[in-house]
Structure 1
Amino acid sequence: MRVLKIIVAALLIAALSGALVLGYELVDRPITKRSHELSREEATKRINKLDTTNPFTGDDPLHILLFGIDKTATTDMTEEGNPTRSDVVMLVTIDPVTKRAQLLSLPRDTYVDIEGHQGKTKLGHAYAYGGEKLAEETVENFLDVKIDYYATVDYNAVERLVDAVGGIEVDIPFDYSYEDTYVVPNLHIDFKKGKQKLDGADAVRYLRIRKIYEDQDIDRIQVQQRFIMQLFDKLKRPMMILKIPELIDIALDNIETNLTYGQIAYLAKMGLDMDRENIQTDTLVGDNKRIGNIEYYIVDQASAREQVRRFAEGKIGYYEEIQEQKKANQENSDADDTGESTNE
């Protein structure tokens, strides 16, 4: 089985770190030892002088489609021979009026129509069939939303970013061991229960954990989202400004986007001014269903479109609200069944 490659930190890299200076205005090109020793005062001064370009059209929200891509070699295929797969798909919406952002996870198994391909299939296939252009069209048609820009990030960025911020602390609620010999190099995961600080390599292993969860992909998405917010907190620390040259390297090596340097710098400055409570994470609401021999994530299209509109209207996340409703309905149903049995 091909293991999910986690790219959940892509927006943070683009908006809060290396993307600040993709125009090479902050440090020398190529990056030198002297530039890595840039003082905080000098870095702050140059950031304030950065030229920016407003990517927004009036007061309309900005929609950026974010792809986490997987090029990993497997035992039957080299990295070059593998079709590039988007294992993580996320719609990032930024509201210029309220200064709020939403990270809406779109499960890769979401059952959708893909233009030019007969019959419905998984959303994650769109990128493999036609790259970001076909994936954009697929999401636009499904959610009735105009995608303004895209960004793709290779999973290697996660390992390097976590190391750059000094690691991430997590509380693992279980012992977990797993081995996958299909990928090259082979994947080995071995965690013990408890609080611990993860370096980049262990963070990627932690984010790959799936089989332990009741709802494997959805629960893992929620772990990814919490991890994003921990990275957000770390990247907002004043000391991180000294890491900018290293973060530039990460961005240049792992990110492709059609945003211009000036637009990215504008969003970066905007992101630095955002508080954590102004960033909402959510997931498309749906249910797992087997069709034939394949498991899909079935999402009601009208409900999905309503979920996107809710954010524009300033409402809080939708996924957890729906899950609570389902839980309450099930409890009421169980109570009714118990009552009927007692009456008999």
Structure 2
Amino acid sequence: MRNAIISVAVVLTVLIGAVALAGALYIRNLDNRLSIGKDVRQSLQKPDDADTGSEATSEKPFYMMLVGSDARSGNENGRSDSLMLARVDPGSHRLDIVSIPRDMQVNIEGVDGVQKINAAYSYGGAALAISTVSEFAGVPISHYVEVNFANMTGLVDHLGGITVNVPESFSGGNSGLSLKAGEQTLNGEQMLGFTRERYQVQGGDFSRTQAQQLVLLAIMQKIMAQPKTALPGLIQELAGAVSTDMNVSSILQLALKFYGQQPQVQSAICPSYAFDQDGVSYVGVEYDEWRDMMQRVDAGMGPQGVGDIPAVQSSNAELGAAANAASPHDYAALKNQSLNSDDIVVQ
């Protein structure tokens, strides 16, 4: 009898060990699929007052950069199709997202001549894109997420679609998709077409930027509405479309801080306008408006927040300074001559 008990104990120990090992290998595999290069990790910055541990375990706000890469481009790195800067505040359950137009005219460190901000990804990959956006916004970027919208179709279908309030109706265009304005459930294919449309919408590329914001927020909201037990499986789906410096454990910890809450969410586009220079189409920043927006974002007021900006932010010369911007400082007339960030259809 004693030998039988010992044998059963040994078998159970082996089984438990095998399950634990399989779980560890599964997590490691997901981490490897999500992982980005060492050079990108080294380019990320921690706020001066940040805890020594991961922001995922902290209640303090931090900045995260979200990039949609253009997989259809022909060069090695491609160009970033969309750039979003998110201020994540786990303690206040607040998320603010500001999109920076991909054609923003800037100077890129180590690159001759004026460039479009999305060219930073092409010249130096994610690391150069991070440092360029950080200088433009005047904030340290602690985390990085690269999204391939084309690979997100499976996740959207896995979620049973996402609910989006489409700002305006459109038909055909570069996406080949037709959608009616209003709240509706989009499947993966519709989601992709929505994020690519810029010809048959009122604000052109500004409207496409708005669509990408709406889609990412809708995906986040749908994920947060799933049972906690579904989160590991959803992360596995995400791993096929996302690359990030965060590991599975950190993503889960951060997600659980927002899970079951009613987070405050605001999104906006960097105040900007389209203009031509030497036969090239660029986007210029509205310097005063951008500085005001970033000061409000950093203060936790949201990009569209109202009221007085706290002294800590209003006296910070780096916030929204657009130090590497190359567009004209006298921009009032240019703004009124072409499309600008105010031309999107407001929901």
Q: TM-score range by the shorter chain?
A: 0.5 to 0.7
Maintained 8 Å contact 1:71/1:82: no
1:137 alignment partner, one of 131, 135, 140: 131
- CA distance in 1 between counterparts of 2:165 and 2:96 reads 25
Say yes or no: does 1:64 pair with 2:64.
yes
Maintained 8 Å contact 1:164/1:246: no
Which runs of 5 or more residues in structure 2 are unaligned? Answer: 1-21, 31-52, 308-331, 337-347
Compute the TM-score of the two structures, normalised by the length of structure 2. Answer: 0.65
Deviations 1:231-284 (A, max 9, x none): 333223245x464454233222222212233332221112324424x1221211
Maintained 8 Å contact 2:57/2:250: no
Maintained 8 Å contact 1:213/1:219: yes
For 1:11, the equivalent position in structure 2 comes to none
| Paired amino acid for 2:271 | V
| Paired amino acid for 2:64 | I
- CA distance in 1 between counterparts of 2:125 and 2:188 reads 28
For 2:115, the equivalent position in structure 1 comes to 121
Query: What's the offset of the Cα at 1:124?
Result: 0.7
Sequence identity of aligned pairs in percent?
27
Maintained 8 Å contact 1:56/1:62: no
Maintained 8 Å contact 1:144/1:305: no
For 1:177, the equivalent position in structure 2 comes to 172
- RMSD between aligned residues: 3.4
Larger RCO: 1 or 2 (CA < 8 Å, sep 6+): 1
Query: What's the offset of the Cα at 1:56?
Result: 6.3
Q: How does 1:11-160 map to 2 (within 5 A)?
A: 54-55=54-55, 60-72=60-72, 77=74, 82-160=76-154
Query: What's the offset of the Cα at 1:128?
Result: 0.8
Query: What's the offset of the Cα at 1:87?
Result: 0.3
Say yes or no: does 1:292 pair with 2:278.
yes
Structure-2 change in CA distance of 1:314 and 1:26 (3 Å): farther
For 1:213, the equivalent position in structure 2 comes to 201
Compute the TM-score of the two structures, normalised by the length of structure 1. Answer: 0.66
Say yes or no: does 1:226 pair with 2:210.
no
Query: What's the offset of the Cα at 1:189?
Result: 2.9
For 2:160, the equivalent position in structure 1 comes to 166
- CA distance in 2 between counterparts of 1:28 and 1:134 reads 29
Query: What's the offset of the Cα at 1:192?
Result: 6.3
Query: What's the offset of the Cα at 1:130?
Result: 0.2
1:281 alignment partner, one of 235, 252, 267: 267
Structure-2 change in CA distance of 1:121 and 1:294 (3 Å): same
Structure-2 change in CA distance of 1:55 and 1:129 (3 Å): same
- CA distance in 2 between counterparts of 1:287 and 1:234 reads 33
- CA distance in 2 between counterparts of 1:233 and 1:59 reads 20
How many correspondences in the alignment? 265
- CA distance in 2 between counterparts of 1:245 and 1:266 reads 11
Deviations 1:151-170 (A, max 9, x none): 21222332112101111355
| Paired amino acid for 1:284 | C
Structure-2 change in CA distance of 1:24 and 1:290 (3 Å): farther
Choose 311-320 or 94-103, whichever is displaced more: 311-320
| Paired amino acid for 1:156 | A
Say yes or no: does 1:255 pair with 2:242.
yes
Maintained 8 Å contact 1:127/1:135: yes
Structure-2 change in CA distance of 1:315 and 1:158 (3 Å): same
Structure-2 change in CA distance of 1:234 and 1:221 (3 Å): same
For 2:188, the equivalent position in structure 1 comes to 200
Point out the structure with the larger strand share. 1
Structure-2 change in CA distance of 1:267 and 1:214 (3 Å): same
